[in-house]
Amino acid sequence: MADSGILPFRLSPCFKQQPTMLIGVTTQELCLILGARLSVMRRAGFRVVLISGPGQLLDRMAARLSVECIAVPMHRSIAPLADLLALVRLWRILGSYRPDLVEFSTPKAGLLGMIAAKLRGVPRRVYMLRGLKLERSRGLKRWILLTAERVACACAHVVLCNSKSLRAEALALRLAPAGKLLVLGEGSSNGVDVERFSPGPSDVREKFSIPPEAPVVGFVGRLTRDKGLPELIEAFDRILVAMPAAHLLLVGWFDAAEDALDAESRTRILNHPHIHCTGFVSDAAPYYRAMDVMVLPTWREGFPNAVLEASATGIPVVTTESTGARDAVIPEVTGLLIPPGYPEAIYESVMKLLRDPERRFHMGRVGRAWVVEHYSEEQVLTLTANYYLSLMEAEPIARLQSA
């Protein structure tokens, strides 16, 4: 990330030693969006240690940014024995590093990390709430997930919410008192690299043998039920009837999570002549440039990076009114909002945009300007670094309790 006029202030000279900050997530895949965050925290003066599930993405991230990393296997699903083992490992790590500040996010790492940090008495404990998995759960499972979120929040001094609607939902669920639930700026935990995600040429259409003039509907994210893939596939079949030349570009991988797609849906996607599935990609920027419209028919989010990235690339977006997703679009200005779970709503919204090139162009232009103004990576992460440094400059418990 290039330096700009907005730089985080550095720690005051009263700190004789470099403070240690631990950032923890459940799986290695999230390391993909943590690179700039880690870099900014190092620039701000922290010794940064990254914790996540094991894998090559974790190792590559640590090597590229020269940060310390620790692999701790964590199951995303409920796994009592494995969770206990992971908790013990985190407790030992925190005892060894004695961090001045911790930031844990994602449900499992958030729960186990915040409990371990509380037990170790870490003086500054931040829970980054990136979304609420419980929104799509029912019965006993929902109660377990709700309890887990409340425990994680109770162990934290501060709960940073990804978006304003996520904070409102957390407050409605009584996850924490209002004073503990914070949104920095306009939301988003990472922002967007507006130089990398920008309009421009792309060879993606050629790579997938998509004609230059063909309408392309795109999707970026995990290929799961909660992301609305079943509804998107059904809607695309209707789009093909109206526009036989259309193509669907799925930029993502089949995630083996609890909301994984069934075998029939996967086979349908892989065998469809007009659906192109990329699998995991490390850089989605060229893929956005190949799209005419980006669709995220998600059921739950915190604040979807994909929507901001598409807008920064000048692509109009169709997404849902779900928590988090609705914060990422200015309705009828940068994109369209629809209720989740309705293939016909996806079809109607996408067709409106595909049939109106002038409107698509205008939405894309306004969307990019909006993201550049409010959600540039430098702006979002500088705000975060300044906030964390303000916690370091004050008496830890007194400052955090008054935040």
Q: Does residue 173 sit in the same domain as residue 256?
A: no
Range of the domain at 285: 204-374
9 domain-assigned = no
The helix or strand, by DSSP H or E, that contains position 145, with its residue range, turns out to be: helix 139-155
Q: What crossing angle do the helices spanning 56-65 and 35-43 adopt, rounded to 10°?
A: 30
Q: Does residue 338 sit in the same domain as residue 356?
A: yes
| pLDDT confidence of residue 22 | 97
Q: Does residue 244 sit in the same domain as residue 231?
A: yes
Check if the beta carbon of residue 115 is closer than 8 Å to that of residue 93: no
Q: Does residue 229 sit in the same domain as residue 142?
A: no
Residues forming beta bridges with residue 129, ordered by sequence position: 161
Compute and round to an integer the Cα radius of gyration of the chain: 21
* pTM over the 0.75 mark: yes
Strand pairing report for 47-52 and 68-71: parallel
| pLDDT confidence of residue 186 | 93
30 domain-assigned = yes
| pLDDT confidence of residue 77 | 78
Gap between the Cα atoms of 189 and 381, Å rounded: 7
210 domain-assigned = yes
Q: Does residue 186 sit in the same domain as residue 259?
A: no
CATH number for 165: 3.40.50.2000
Instruction: Using alpha carbons, select from 77, 89, 85 the residue that is nearest to residue 51.
Output: 89
Q: Does residue 209 sit in the same domain as residue 229?
A: yes
The pair of structure tokens assigned to 90 is: 């985190």
Gap between the Cα atoms of 367 and 370, Å rounded: 5
State phi, psi for 335 to the nearest 5 degrees.
180, -170
198 domain-assigned = no
Residue 326 C-beta-side C-alpha neighbours within 13 Å: 15
247 domain-assigned = yes
The pair of structure tokens assigned to 262 is: 């069934």
Contacts of 321 (CB under 8 A, 6+ apart): 337, 338, 339, 340
Q: Does residue 45 sit in the same domain as residue 131?
A: yes
Gap between the Cα atoms of 124 and 122, Å rounded: 6
Check if the beta carbon of residue 229 is closer than 8 Å to that of residue 341: no
| pLDDT confidence of residue 393 | 80
301 domain-assigned = yes
Q: Does residue 313 sit in the same domain as residue 229?
A: yes
| pLDDT confidence of residue 61 | 85
| Structural domain count of the chain | 2
171 domain-assigned = yes
Q: How many CB atoms lie within 10 A of CB 2?
A: 7
Q: Does residue 322 sit in the same domain as residue 264?
A: yes
Q: Does residue 168 sit in the same domain as residue 267?
A: no
145 domain-assigned = yes
Contacts of 241 (CB under 8 A, 6+ apart): none
Q: Consecutive 10-residue runs of the chain (403 residues): their mean pLDDT? A: 48 69 90 88 93 90 87 87 95 96 94 97 96 89 94 97 96 96 93 96 96 97 94 97 98 88 93 95 95 96 94 98 96 97 97 97 98 95 93 64 46
Q: Does residue 111 sit in the same domain as residue 49?
A: yes
Q: Does residue 335 sit in the same domain as residue 219?
A: yes
